[in-house]
Amino acid sequence: MSHRSRRSRMVLLGIVLGLCCGCQVDDDGDDDWTQGRDARPGTPAEWAVIAEAQARRLETLSIFSGNGSLVIDSKDDQGKTTTDRLNHRLWRVAPDKAALRLSVSGIPLGRLGWNGTRWWLLNEGPDRPELTVVDMKDPQGPLSMEEETLSPPVVLFMIGLMPFPSEAPSDFMIAGDRARFSLDSIRWSRAGGDLVAGNRHAIVVGAPADGPIGIEVFDDAGMPSGLVALSRFEPVETLGKPPGAWPNLPNRIVLSSTHDVLYRVVITFDGPLAQGRISERLFDLDALVERVDPVLVEGRDMTSQRLLESKDAP
């Protein structure tokens, strides 16, 4: 694998691992979610407003696409900082069916895809494309951090699209016009059972229609390990709905990290569209393999060849 190809793969993995790398609060974060106001336990009625608003957002954004930019500051083993400026395009048609394409100045860099229990990462560097596939239906041994983070719940979680429980969490608190509560994991319901990923996390909500404005992630020991800051909320044009019924989506998401490779990621959205038509070929792994003829990457917990030969996967 060439240096440039390895670099492309590092950038791809850096994006999907950004949430799990142990982050630090940056200037976009808010150290005090209460903004100096007294906090009190929230009521069931207050929770119902927040949960119902999030459910409406998720329903309308069950089908949406958007594009924008990714600015990634990373550092090498010698501490030298490099900035990568990428373009992204995101498509979603179900909680467990989504695709993300990355490019630089119109040149393809790679893509992430998810369909049912299979997620994959395609590195489209200058050499022959390299494909890594993960099967959550039949994993070989414990899931690696890369495998779990490639799942739809985690990537959608980073942009504030996660379901809230019907009943208020035990630590649901209100301070002024803000609310804070924690959840044990990221969960999405699907026909074959819930998709579960990630560790405990705390969520801060401002205006209920916006969904999360801040997400703090905790490690296995219960210590704070990351922060996602979401801002610049704008209505998403939604086919079949009047402007007043359009859901809000953050146009800027910031993750900061002390990881050896990843340091900071800034994600922006420009012109997202909900309830439009999206081609199913974007989520067809077999069609992708036929089209690009990739090299299959094998690893300790990633068994691509066996999965691609299986025809019974969803």
- CATH code of the domain containing 223: 2.50.20.10
- Counting every residue written for the chain, the total comes to 314
C-alpha distances in Å from residue 12, one per residue of 66, 67, 211, 228: 18, 17, 27, 18
Q: Which of 40-44, 154-158, 305-309 has the lowest mean pLDDT?
A: 305-309
Q: Where are the beta strands (DSSP E) in 155-305?
A: 173-175, 178-183, 186-188, 195-197, 201-205, 212-218, 224-235, 237-238, 248-256, 262-268, 270-274, 295-296
Q: Which residue has the tokens 């990634």?
A: 72
Is the per-residue pLDDT at 21 higher than 50? Answer: no
Q: Would you place residue 171 in the very low, low, confident or very high pLDDT band (cuts 50, 70, 90)?
A: very high
Q: In this structure, are residues 76 and 65 in contact, taking their beta carbons and an 8 Å threshold?
A: no
- Please check whether residue 172 lies inside any domain of the structure: yes
- Please check whether residue 314 lies inside any domain of the structure: no
- Please check whether residue 51 lies inside any domain of the structure: yes
- State the Cα–Cα distance between residues 5 and 11, nearest whole angstrom: 10
Highest mean pLDDT among 129-138, 236-245, 292-301 belongs to 236-245
Q: In this structure, are residues 151 and 7 in contact, taking their beta carbons and an 8 Å threshold?
A: no
Mean pLDDT on 194-216: 85
| Residue 242: other Cβ atoms inside 10 A | 7
Highest mean pLDDT among 131-135, 170-174, 239-243, 252-256 belongs to 170-174
Is the per-residue pLDDT at 313 higher than 60? Answer: no
Q: Pick from 154, 157, 151, 159: which is nearest to 134 by CA?
A: 151
For a pLDDT cut of 90, what percent of the chain falls above it? Answer: 35
- Please check whether residue 240 lies inside any domain of the structure: yes
Mean pLDDT on 238-250: 93
Q: In this structure, are residues 83 and 71 in contact, taking their beta carbons and an 8 Å threshold?
A: yes
- Which is higher by pLDDT, 225 or 115? 115
Highest mean pLDDT among 56-65, 73-82, 290-299 belongs to 56-65
- Please check whether residue 290 lies inside any domain of the structure: yes
Is the per-residue pLDDT at 180 higher than 90? Answer: yes
Domain extent, residue 280, equals: 3-309
Condensed to tens digits (0 to 9), the pLDDT of residues 260-281 reads: 455 678 899 988 999 999 999 9
- Which is higher by pLDDT, 194 or 32? 32
Number of domains in the chain: 1
> Three-state DSSP class for 30?
coil
Is the per-residue pLDDT at 172 higher than 50? Answer: yes
Residues sharing a CB contact under 8 Å with residue 290, sequence separation 6 or more, in sequence order: none
HSE, CB side, 13 Å, CA atoms: give it for residue 157: 33
